[in-house]
Each structure stands twice: as structure tokens, then as C-alpha cells.
Structure 1
Amino acid sequence: MAITAHEAALDHALGAAARGLAVIPLSRTKLPAVRSPHRTERRPASCRGECGQIGHGVHDASTDADAVRALFATAPWATGYGIACGRPPHFLIGVDLDVKNDGDGIQNLERLAIDHGFTIPLTVTVTTPSGGRHLWFFGPADTAIPNSASKIAPGIDIRGSGGYLVGPGSRTIAGEYVHAPGTHHRPIAETPAALLRLISPPPTPRLSPLSLPVSGQKAVALVSFVLESPSGQRNDRLYWAACRAHETDHGTELAQALVDAAVHIGLPEGEARATVASAAHRARRVAR
């Protein structure tokens, strides 16, 4: 009897999990297949699995075979799987080379290698339905590599901490993701040092009371709290810091500094401004 796309995806996902790669089931649209337990709530939840239920996207990813089977059993419509990046032991970095929408990522990576003096090593490579490629690299254990889209060059997206790659053997609306010939059993290569410098987050700036519009260590502590946010907690920590700033009557003066800090660590400026504005609205409501 022919194997179904769901069964094939589960089989491939279990194989990846056995290699130490944490996986989740994906739908044909490449999105996490397990539905959020918070989808009927009126206000979007910031929960990332703390509630003890599944349905939190990449935060559900596991290398445990029983857990993977349970995830797929919950989503029988899943026809693919995602591989979480930035997780130990591999701290996987995915270099997603697009050749369709935003420039030729394959050619642009070759130009970057020439310009910055590094060689693109042989590594696990997955071909996409559009003709693009996913290159897999070992990442550093001490640095969370941010996700980005065409930041280092057109057509080159980076999948880092909090992101995932569509795994080989997945079937999507666009087609199938498969290993490039000869790369299935190839070891994952280390990220070239020059490429790692291009995709690593900028160093956190040192703060002093003199660099802020409001004096005092409280202001420094609030901005530092945002700058030190781990991936997945940036928006929540920005909101908390903005609320505390209003409690000290300096919310308005510190607003721009908090937005700048959030943007520095990778939060989109529009989202950062909306979060700070939401904190200001809360402060006005509480003051009534």
C-alpha cells in the first residue's frame, strides 16, 4: 500500500530528530500544523508553551520520538516538517537562497564569498520547489543568530534562533523539498567566520546615564532590560519596561530610547512604537 504524504513527513521528521534536530509538523502552506490553543482568545497570547499545551509553533519542536509522533497525530493534515534552528547541539543556521522573488540568492552568496574572502563549504543542502537552496551550517553556542530577510544581500534569508527550515521530504502546495544530490549524508559544516560576522547581531552598546534623556540608574536599567532581551521575549520586555517607565513619570521622555533599544535588537520599528504606545495607553487608563 502506498505511503501517504503525512506518513512520509513523519518518517522524515523522525529521522531528523534522531540526528538531534528538533522538529514540528507543517501544513502544506509551510506553517506549523498544530493549531494554537489560544486561537479563540480575544487577546493574542504571548505564551510560548508555558501553558503546558501544544500548538506554539517552533516552541513545540522536539527531538523526542514519542513527542514528535504525538505532534503529528494531533495534525493528520501535516504533509511536512520544520527543523528548529538555533537549538543545541547543532545550533543550526539555515541560509535560504531564493531565486524567484528578491534576486538570485545563489549568485549573491557567491559574490559575498568573493567580497568577504570566504569559501562556501560543502554542507547539507536542500533544494526548494522554486529552484532555491537551503544550506545548513553549525552555529555558535554563545550567540543567538537573528532571523533576517535579504538583509545581507537580496535573495538571502537567514534562519536562526526562533526560526525553522522546511525539512527535506516535506510536501507543500508549491512542491517537494528534497536533498540536493550527494548531500544527504554529508556532515553539517561550520559557518564560515566571515559569513558569521555578517549575520551576527551587533554588539550591545554600553549605556550611561549621560546618554539618555532622563538621568538616573533606573532609566539605564530599563533600557538595558530591553537591550538584553532574548529572542522571543523582545516585545514582552519592551512593554514591561515602557510600563515601568510611566510609573516613574518618565514614560514620555524614555519612549524614544526604548524604541531605539528594541530596534537595535531586531524588533521592527513599527512594532516597537506600537508596543510603547500601548504601554502609554495603559498608563493613562490606570491614572483615570
Structure 2
Amino acid sequence: MATLALAHALAAAAHGFRVIPLSRAKLPAVRSPHHHDPDPLPCRGACGRIGHGVHDATADPEAVRALFAAAPWATGYGIACGCAPYHLIGVDLDLKNGTDGAAALARLAREHAFAIPRTVTVLTPGGGRHLWLCGPPRLSVPNSAGRLAPGIDIRGVGGYLVGPGSSTTHGGYRLAPGSPAWSPAPVPPVLLRLLRPPRPAPPRPYQPGSPPSEQHAAALVRFVRDSREGQRNVRLFWAACRAYETGAGAELAPALVEAALHTGLPAREARATVASAARSAARRLRSPGACSPGERSGWG
């Protein structure tokens, strides 16, 4: 099974798609090198080892073989989204629990007057389908679940799609009859605008060094608590920076971490993000400009 998955992954890599091996549970098959660390910090592969999920994704055939050699139990492969040359956007149309993602997308197309292009379409074991679309190079589309409409999940930067030819616990993934094999169509401009969430409105302006009011502190916590998937680390980092810059970081940190946990961010990751914000805020106070909302990109 691993040999078959590797063959399919190499075929995808030959067309420029970056791939990783997946287990039967559709999770990255190579174990994290940090799983024994008592309190691991988020790592995207800077340590030089493999085992960082989608951050291991590669189109180099030798590197692909090395990844699969490290996970001989792999039964499938994932294709990283948001990467050059395709800047892939995956539209996951579910058919379960009373939702019909394909029908929901068709309604959106009618309401917003765009055509759903003929593109790579992968059938999933549960009766749903994945549409592959090319995104623009300098525009990041975040991952989301049900934000566009019930039954429609989006895989963007930091996400991955299960590739055709993969075998999972619930069945196999295969190209739909008549689907182009490796040529995703460009995302319709109107749909792209719908996929891009509005920029979050930050809390009211702050004065560095001045203690925050109760209203401002509550706004920072609410700013984190209202985070969606794909924004959680960015918002937590931004709010923690603001708190530490006003001298209230130690006081507000527990509430910010609790708000992040409410969004589904893992506890270790939330604490590591707040600690990173504390260090960055200290640098900013010494040298203005060192801490900015774009310094971290969201893992969650």
C-alpha cells in the first residue's frame, strides 16, 4: 500500500505539486521530531528535521521518497495548498449530516453570478468531492470550515488536500470521471472575494506604556475569542503584543490564553505564542517596529 501511495505522490510531484505522506487517518504520517519535548515551541522545519506536517511538503522526487521511507505505513498522500506554482485552493464539498456542499456552492454561484469552472475534481469516500483551483500568487486564502456556507470547507495556506489514489480508513480518493488530472482551473474572481475574509477590526488605539482600561483589556480578549481558523495565532500574538506593550501582559496573559483555547488552539501553542509576543513586545519597546501583526503567520 505504501508503494502505491508513493507512486501516486511521485506522479503529483512530477506535475509540480508538493506532497507529504499520510496515514489511514488522513494525518501526516511522519511523526514530529518534537513529540518528546516537554514544552515544544511551534516549529515549521527550522530545526532541519522532518516531521512537521505540511511544512515538509516537497515536489523533489528524492525528498518525497525520503519522506515515505520514514513512514512505510503511509497509505496516502497530501497535497499542500497555497504553494507555487499553483497556489492551490481546495474547495471541500461535504455530503453528510444533512448538508450538501455541492448544492450550497451552486446556490452561491447563482446568487453571486459566477460560473463554477471545470477543474480537477476528486471524489471522497463519504460521497463528497474536492475541487482544485489555482489562486493568485500574492494573495493568501486561509483555511475555513463552513464559513462560506454549511458543507463547504476551504483548504488554503497551511492546509492540504488528500490526493487521488490515497487509501484511508473510510475508503479511497479518486479522480471524478472526466476530470482533468493535474490542471486546476483559476479561481473565479467573485469566488476569490468570498473566500477572503474581511480584515479584522482591531481594538481601539492604544498608548504604549499606558495601562489599558478595563474596556480595552476586554476588547483584546474578545479580539482573540472571536478568531476563526487560520487567524487564531495571528490574533493572539497581536493582542498579547498590545497587552505587554501597555505593561499589562502578565495580568492579561491567562485570559488571552483561555480565549485562544476557546477557539480550539492547543494549550502549548497558545502559551508559546504569548511568550513569543512578550519577547517581541520587549524588542519593540527598545526599538519601535520590532513587533507587528504580520510577524507570525497562523498555524491554527
- Under TM normalisation by the shorter chain, which class is it? 0.7 to 0.9
Would you say 1:137 and 2:133 are equivalent positions?
Answer: yes
Aligned 8 A contact 1:235 1:272 in 2: no
Deviations 1:179-212 (A, max 9, x none): 00111436311101111111113236588xxx32
| Residue matched to 1:41 | 37
Deviations 1:44-73 (A, max 9, x none): 331110100000000000000000000000
Would you say 1:176 and 2:168 are equivalent positions?
Answer: no
Shift of 1:217: 9.4
Q: TM-score, normalised by structure 2?
A: 0.75
Aligned 8 A contact 2:236 2:273 in 1: no
Pair 180,32 (structure 1): closer, same or farther in 2 beyond 3 Å: same
Aligned 8 A contact 1:136 1:189 in 2: yes
Distance in structure 2 (CA, Å) of the matches to 1:234 and 1:101? 27
| Residue matched to 2:67 | 71
Would you say 1:30 and 2:26 are equivalent positions?
Answer: yes
Aligned 8 A contact 2:15 2:182 in 1: no
Aligned 8 A contact 1:81 1:166 in 2: yes
State the one-letter code of the partner of 1:150.
Answer: G
Aligned 8 A contact 1:246 1:252 in 2: yes
Shift of 1:146: 0.4
| Residue matched to 2:99 | 103
| Residue matched to 1:215 | 207
Deviations 1:54-102 (A, max 9, x none): 0000000000000000000000000100000000110000000000136
Q: How many residues align?
A: 261
Aligned 8 A contact 1:238 1:276 in 2: no
SS, match of residue 24 in structure 1:
strand
Would you say 1:251 and 2:258 are equivalent positions?
Answer: no
State the one-letter code of the partner of 1:200.
Answer: R
State the one-letter code of the partner of 1:165.
Answer: L
Which of 125, 129, 147 aligns to 2:143? It is 147
Aligned 8 A contact 1:101 1:155 in 2: no
Aligned 8 A contact 1:238 1:272 in 2: no
| Residue matched to 1:165 | 161
State the one-letter code of the partner of 1:215.
Answer: Q
Aligned 8 A contact 2:209 2:246 in 1: no
Pair 130,234 (structure 1): closer, same or farther in 2 beyond 3 Å: closer
Which of 120, 138, 147 aligns to 1:124? It is 120
Which of 3, 6, 10 aligns to 1:10? It is 6
Shift of 1:40: 1.2
Pair 177,86 (structure 1): closer, same or farther in 2 beyond 3 Å: same
Pair 232,12 (structure 1): closer, same or farther in 2 beyond 3 Å: same
Distance in structure 2 (CA, Å) of the matches to 1:77 and 1:271? 28
Distance in structure 2 (CA, Å) of the matches to 1:29 and 1:134? 17
Q: TM-score, normalised by structure 1?
A: 0.78
Unaligned runs of 5+ in 2: 213-219, 279-300
What is the percent sequence identity of the aligned residues?
Answer: 59
Q: Once structures 1 and 2 are overlaid, which stretch shifts more, 176-185 or 150-159?
A: 176-185
Pair 206,29 (structure 1): closer, same or farther in 2 beyond 3 Å: closer
Q: Tell me how large the CA RMSD over aligned residues is.
A: 3.7
SS, match of residue 152 in structure 1:
strand
Shift of 1:238: 3.8
Aligned 8 A contact 2:144 2:230 in 1: no
SS, match of residue 113 in structure 1:
helix
Distance in structure 1 (CA, Å) of the matches to 2:167 and 2:196? 31
Which of 220, 223, 242 aligns to 2:240? It is 242
Shift of 1:41: 1.4
Which of 180, 199, 205 aligns to 1:203? It is 199
State the one-letter code of the partner of 1:167.
Answer: G
Aligned 8 A contact 1:102 1:154 in 2: no
Distance in structure 2 (CA, Å) of the matches to 1:166 and 1:242? 35
SS, match of residue 161 in structure 1:
coil
Shift of 1:252: 7.5
| Residue matched to 1:20 | 16
Aligned 8 A contact 1:94 1:158 in 2: yes
Pair 29,47 (structure 1): closer, same or farther in 2 beyond 3 Å: same
Distance in structure 2 (CA, Å) of the matches to 1:185 and 1:110? 23
Distance in structure 1 (CA, Å) of the matches to 2:267 and 2:14? 43
